[in-house]
Amino acid sequence: MIEGVSEEVLNLLRKDSIICPRCHTTMDFSMETESFGNGMKKVTTYYKCSVCSYRIPDMTIEIYRYNGSAKIKLNGKF
């Protein structure tokens, strides 16, 4: 238990948590970015288990720049 936080609050936090299908612990939300030489940037969000490193993909955002404008492509569940 976290000092100063009631059990009721902890239960509310756990209710919305993503649980790892392998080891049944709470997963962390993470994000990574990549840049490519053609002006494309990619942002990937996912849930990762801090115990067994299992990953669940969430969303991918691809940003393409060209001629002073940008095109944004979203992949994932919304």
77 pLDDT exceeds 80?
no
- Would the pLDDT of 2 be above 70? no
3-state secondary structure of 1: coil
In this predicted structure, the answer to whether residue 17 has a pLDDT above a threshold of 70 is: yes
Q: What is the pLDDT of residues 20-47, one digit of tens each?
A: 899 888 898 899 999 998 889 999 999 9
Fold that domain 18-76 belongs to in CATH: N-terminal domain of TfIIb (2.20.25)
| Residue 1 banded pLDDT, cuts 50, 70, 90 | very low
d(CA 78, CA 23): 26
H or E stretch covering 14: helix 7-15
Q: What is the pLDDT of residue 52?
A: 95
Spans of all domains in the chain: 18-76
